[in-house]
Amino acid sequence: MSEDYPKRQLLKLSGEALVSAACPDTIDAVVLAQMAEDIAGAVSDLGIELGIVVGGGNIWRGDRGAGRGIERSSSDAMGMLATVINALALQDAIERIGQPTRVMTAVQMAQVAEPYIRRRAIRHLEKGRVIILAGGMGNPYFTTDTSAALRAAEIGAEILLKGTHSGVDGVYSADPREDPSAVRYARLSFMDLVNRDLRVMDMTAVTFCKDNNLPVLVFEVSPPGNLRKALSGDEIGTLVK
């Protein structure tokens, strides 16, 4: 384990990280429990402050509805609500094993979650609570990648961990599932991502991270133990800075 891992970190989890082949439609409780175990274990062992921005793509994505004739802003609102469903599921699973959390949402719904207020979010982190940030940014036409970048900057996270679920552990020169000679990049610059058109994250988010000097670690989140390696600064995935 690296001695020098960042003490405040933001993890972006796609909704699809919560599904499995056995349960492809919404949330697989077994996958969720494993994820929660990894998160709670790493937070308590490493003593880090962790924010999580969760996506909603396992339930709904704005462009899905837009393609079916639903007005884009309404469809995006549906996507934002989907992220709240995932956040509540994640909260339940993490608290079940004793790690305190708070769900904070950019879309106000006082009965189920706190509103996102930056200073309150930081206070929760200082008190050792994992904050789960739902509702994206509360605005249509954005993705939770961009929300994750924004929240990471707002809470002063030292790094954004972008967990993928593609079966590929980082950024490769070609798709390693198709090309056995593909090599993993251990490090890349933001300009490399743009110039080589490497689509590991929404381009709006990439630009934001570049402009705000926020390093991004792209790594495969699903294999047990990977999340802890990422949070502890071990050599894993691809570091973009």
Please give the residue ranges that form the binding site for ligand UDP (CB under 6 A): 14-16, 55-57, 61-62, 76, 79-80, 82-83, 136-137, 139-140, 142-145, 147
For residue 108, what are its two tokens? Answer: 């106000």
- Which C-beta is closer to ligand UDP: that of 142 or that of 185? 142
Least distance to ligand UDP from the beta carbon of 94, Å? 18
- Which C-beta is closer to ligand UDP: that of 56 or that of 170? 56
For residue 14, what are its two tokens? Answer: 């796609």
- Which C-beta is closer to ligand UDP: that of 144 or that of 226? 144
Rounded to an integer, what distance in angstroms lies between the CA atom of residue 67 and that of residue 14?
21
- Which C-beta is closer to ligand UDP: that of 56 or that of 233? 56
DSSP H helical segments within the chain, as ranges?
29-46, 62-66, 72-96, 118-126, 144-155, 190-195, 203-211, 226-231
List CB contacts of 140: < 8 A, sequence separation 6 or more. Answer: 62, 72, 73, 76, 77, 80
- Which C-beta is closer to ligand UDP: that of 136 or that of 233? 136
Least distance to ligand UDP from the beta carbon of 3, Å? 32
Are the CB atoms for 151 and 131 separated by under 8 Å? no
Are the CB atoms for 135 and 116 separated by under 8 Å? yes
- Which C-beta is closer to ligand UDP: that of 116 or that of 142? 142
Q: Is 27 left (phi over 0), alpha (psi -120 to 50) or beta?
A: beta
Least distance to ligand UDP from the beta carbon of 240, Å? 17
Least distance to ligand UDP from the beta carbon of 201, Å? 10
Q: Are strands 130-134 and 101-105 parallel, antiparallel or unpaired?
A: parallel
Least distance to ligand UDP from the beta carbon of 127, Å? 26
Rounded to an integer, what distance in angstroms lies between the CA atom of residue 54 and that of residue 221?
13
Least distance to ligand UDP from the beta carbon of 60, Å? 6
Which among 239, 15, 8 has a CA at the least distance from the CA of 143? Answer: 15
